[in-house]
C-alpha cells in the first residue's frame, strides 16, 4: 500500500512507517515461540503415581495433539512445577493469558483422553 501514501504529508509517512515497523516486530516475535519437543524423558519425570506405561503413553499422545505453546505451558506447569509467573517470563506470554491457556489445555486434554475411551477422573 506504499503507492497510496501522499508524499506531501510527512505525518502520513511517519505513521505508515511506525505501523509497518510495529506490525513486523509483532510478527517476528510470534515466530520466536520456543519449539519444545515432547519426548519420553519429559513424560518419564512424572511422579510415581503415573509411572504406568499405558498412562504415560496416553498422556504423551494427548500432549502431542496440542499445539507447541500449549504443550510448553502444560509441561512447564504440571511436569516441571513452574509457577505461572515463571511460565509467563519463559514464554513471553502475559500471566493472565497463561492461566486461560492452561485452563483450555486441561479441557482439551480431558476431551482427548475421553475420546480415547479413558475416564478423566482416573488420572486426576
Q: What is the pLDDT of residues 83-121, one digit of tens each?
A: 999 988 888 889 999 999 999 988 888 888 787 766 655
Vertex 77: Cα angle to 66 and 80 (nearest 5) = 110
Give the Å distances, CA to CA, from 72 to 9, 24, 41, 55, 109. Answer: 47, 25, 14, 19, 14
Task: Give the pLDDT score at 122.
Answer: 46
Task: Give the pLDDT score at 103.
Answer: 92
Question: What is d(CA 8, CA 4) in angstroms, rounded to the nearest whole number?
Answer: 12
Task: Give the pLDDT score at 121.
Answer: 52
pLDDT-derived band at 123, boundaries 50, 70, 90: very low
Alpha helices (H) in the chain, listed in sequence order: 10-31, 40-44, 53-64, 68-74, 84-91, 95-115
Task: Give the pLDDT score at 78.
Answer: 85
Of 70, 53, 59, 40, nearest to 116 by C-alpha is 59
Q: pTM, whole model, 2 decimals?
A: 0.52
Give me 123's grid cell.
Answer: 488420572
Q: What is the pLDDT of residues 44-92, one digit of tens each?
A: 555 555 456 667 777 788 888 888 888 888 888 888 888 999 988 888 8
Question: What is d(CA 123, CA 81) in angstroms, rounded to the nearest whole number?
Answer: 17
Task: Give the pLDDT score at 63.
Answer: 84
Task: Give the pLDDT score at 72.
Answer: 87
Give the Å distances, CA to CA, from 114 to 68, 86, 92, 111. Answer: 21, 30, 32, 5
Task: Give the pLDDT score at 74.
Answer: 87
User: What is the chain's mean pLDDT, rounded?
Assistant: 76
Domains detected in the chain: 2-31 (no CATH), 40-123 (1.10.10.10)
Amino acid at each position: 500500500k506504499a503507492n497510496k501514501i501522499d508524499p506531501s504529508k510527512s505525518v502520513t509517512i511517519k505513521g505508515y512507517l511506525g505501523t509497518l515497523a510495529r506490525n513486523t516486530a509483532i510478527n517476528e516475535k510470534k515466530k520466536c515461540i520456543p519449539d519444545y519437543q515432547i519426548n519420553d524423558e519429559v513424560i518419564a519425570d512424572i511422579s510415581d503415581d503415573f509411572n504406568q506405561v499405558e498412562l504415560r503413553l496416553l498422556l504423551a499422545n494427548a500432549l502431542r495433539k496440542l499445539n507447541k505453546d500449549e504443550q510448553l505451558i502444560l509441561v512447564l506447569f504440571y511436569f516441571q512445577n513452574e509457577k505461572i509467573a515463571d511460565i509467563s517470563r519463559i514464554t513471553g506470554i502475559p500471566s493472565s493469558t497463561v492461566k486461560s491457556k492452561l485452563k483450555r489445555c486441561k479441557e482439551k486434554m480431558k476431551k482427548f483422553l475421553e475420546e480415547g475411551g479413558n475416564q478423566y477422573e482416573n488420572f486426576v
